[in-house]
């Protein structure tokens, strides 16, 4: 959500943002509805003022005069009721349009239609060369008995899975790796709810437009697609002081995505699943672009350092405008090397949102002068499993079919090499 005053004053910027993001949005339509809404609002407020004056006069009038004064007020009231009805309709129309206004991409974001236009900004790590025929993560997991996909889909349906044995231990180790690292950076740890009310989803910009991506329940609750949703909801309708910022959270939560529209992609294994676990970084900071940029770089660096500690090769790309979600100002994806596909695959997503979410969620702070502002929000993946297990297993595989455990995870896994189970 953007400020309507900003939109009124900068319709061209909004129009350009929609074009860049390849989003179908008609600014003129919004401005027309806005103008109508303001006109009717003024009528309504004038009538209400007359009602208020009239009602007070009734209270002070002698009993004999009240009757016809009330009759007059009833006439105004009928008129008012009609205009209020019209205002209600316009407000709703206005609100629905406002939900669809895209946030303005940062000038540093490259223009482009899709993720094919994302620009690599740096790489880290040496791409491993295997002088034996390598296995993909599916083969490794099967041979090492780290997962069961047949029974996974029997129980959970398409894209369902069980993790087993060291697959479980590696998951816990990765979560703990992320948690330890982020807590050392001063982040407050949270285990946040995956079952959320609609408000947080609207507030984070997932609803109303991405409903098809979410799982609902019979109780008007939804399954969160990321911990970001509940962590942002955590502070909705709160007002902070500038001194309390930045608020830094590292949140653990299961995440659920219907993956609608991706039926042909990654149909096997653990790359794209409906149910996964995310350890997510979330920051609220004061409303200055430079402050957001600074934290964005920090959040991104933290995730890179966690990958470096695992010695996994990755690259960072800046998402092109056409691949930028409509609430985001700027986004980096971190893509980790997947040897079997000989390419980098997205494992992290780091976003600047400015006040897009906090305006919807009503998260504000008072600056040193006492003025109120909507905070800025940012988020980035710390670790998402099981996807990262694929990169981990493939990069760490050995000729004999075993998989080494990264140094950084050994204390949590308990072994240094994962070998086939004895029959």
Partner RNA sequence: GGAAGCGUGCCGGAGUGGUUGAACGGGGCAGUCUUGAAAACUGCUAUACCCGCAAGGGUAUCGGAGGUUCGAAUCCUCCCGCUUCCGCCA
CB of 83 to RNA, least distance (A): 12
- Integer Cα distance of 167 and 146 in angstroms: 5
- Integer Cα distance of 203 and 357 in angstroms: 6
Instruction: Decide whether 71 or 133 has the Cβ nearer to RNA.
Output: 71
CB of 6 to RNA, least distance (A): 10
Instruction: Decide whether 124 or 240 has the Cβ nearer to RNA.
Output: 240
CB of 363 to RNA, least distance (A): 13
Instruction: Decide whether 52 or 268 has the Cβ nearer to RNA.
Output: 52
Q: Do residues 379 and 350 make contact, with C-beta atoms less than 8 angstroms apart?
A: yes
CA distances from 244 to 33, 364, 416 (A): 39, 11, 43
Instruction: Decide whether 76 or 309 has the Cβ nearer to RNA.
Output: 76
Give 16: exposed, middle or buried? Use CB within 10 Å, 0-12, 13-18, 19+. middle
Closest CA to 266 of 150, 129, 159: 159
Strands 376-385, 314-318: pairing kind: unpaired
Closest CA to 130 of 363, 348, 401, 416: 401
Closest CA to 269 of 165, 164, 390, 155: 390
CB of 260 to RNA, least distance (A): 27
CA distances from 32 to 29, 35, 36, 103 (A): 5, 5, 6, 20
- Integer Cα distance of 121 and 333 in angstroms: 10
The tokens of 15 are what?
């129009």
Q: Which residues contact RNA by CB under 7 A?
A: 3-5, 38, 41-42, 44-46, 48-49, 51-56, 58-59, 70, 73-74, 77, 88, 197, 220, 370, 372
Q: Do residues 329 and 105 make contact, with C-beta atoms less than 8 angstroms apart?
A: yes
CB of 237 to RNA, least distance (A): 9
- Integer Cα distance of 37 and 32 in angstroms: 8
Catalytic residue list: 257, 272, 346, 349, 387
Instruction: Decide whether 42 or 209 has the Cβ nearer to RNA.
Output: 42
CB of 236 to RNA, least distance (A): 12
258 φ/ψ angles, rounded to the nearest 5 degrees:
-75, -20
Instruction: Decide whether 38 or 134 has the Cβ nearer to RNA.
Output: 38
């Amino acid at each position: 959500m953007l400020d309507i005053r900003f939109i009124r004053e900068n319709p061209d910027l909004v129009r350009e943002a929609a074009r860049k993001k390849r989003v179908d949005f008609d600014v003129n339509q919004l401005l027309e509805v806005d103008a109508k809404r303001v006109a009717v609002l003024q009528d309504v407020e004038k009538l209400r003022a007359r009602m208020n004056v009239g009602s007070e006069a009734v209270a002070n009038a002698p009993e004999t005069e009240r009757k016809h004064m009330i009759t007059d007020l009833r006439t105004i009231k009928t008129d008012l009721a009609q205009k209020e009805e019209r205002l209600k309709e316009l407000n709703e129309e206005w609100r629905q349009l406002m939900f669809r206004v895209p946030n303005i991409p940062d000038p540093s974001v490259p223009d482009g239609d899709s993720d094919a236009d994302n620009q690599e900004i740096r790489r880290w790590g040496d791409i491993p060369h295997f002088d034996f025929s390598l296995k993909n993560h599916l083969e490794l997991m099967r041979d090492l008995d780290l997962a069961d996909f047949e029974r996974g889909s029997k129980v959970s349906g398409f894209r369902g899975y069980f993790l087993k044995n060291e697959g479980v231990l590696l998951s816990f180790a990765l979560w703990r790796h992320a948690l330890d690292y982020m807590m050392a950076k001063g982040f407050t740890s949270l285990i946040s709810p995956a079952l959320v009310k609609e408000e947080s989803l609207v507030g984070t910009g997932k609803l109303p437009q991405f409903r098809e991506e979410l799982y609902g329940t019979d109780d008007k609750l939804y399954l969160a697609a990321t911990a970001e949703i509940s962590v942002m909801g955590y502070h909705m309708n709160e007002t902070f002081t500038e001194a309390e910022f930045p608020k830094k959270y590292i949140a653990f939560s299961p995440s659920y995505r219907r993956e609608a529209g991706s039926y042909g992609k990654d149909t096997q294994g653990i790359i794209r699943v409906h149910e996964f676990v995310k350890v997510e970084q979330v920051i609220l900071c004061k409303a200055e672009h430079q402050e957001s940029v600074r934290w964005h770089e920090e959040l991104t660096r933290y995730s890179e350092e966690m990958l470096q500690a695992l010695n996994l090769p990755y690259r960072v790309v800046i998402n092109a405008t056409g691949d930028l979600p409509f609430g985001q100002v700027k986004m980096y994806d971190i893509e980790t090397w997947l040897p079997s596909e000989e390419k980098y695959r997205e494992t992290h997503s780091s976003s600047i949102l400015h006040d897009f979410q906090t305006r919807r969620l009503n998260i504000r702070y008072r600056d040193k002068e006492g003025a109120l502002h909507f905070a800025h929000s940012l988020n980035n993946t710390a670790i998402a499993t099981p996807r990262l297990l694929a990169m981990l297993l493939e990069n760490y595989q050995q000729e004999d079919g075993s998989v080494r455990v990264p140094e950084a995870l050994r204390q949590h896994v308990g072994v240094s090499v994962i070998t086939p189970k004895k029959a």
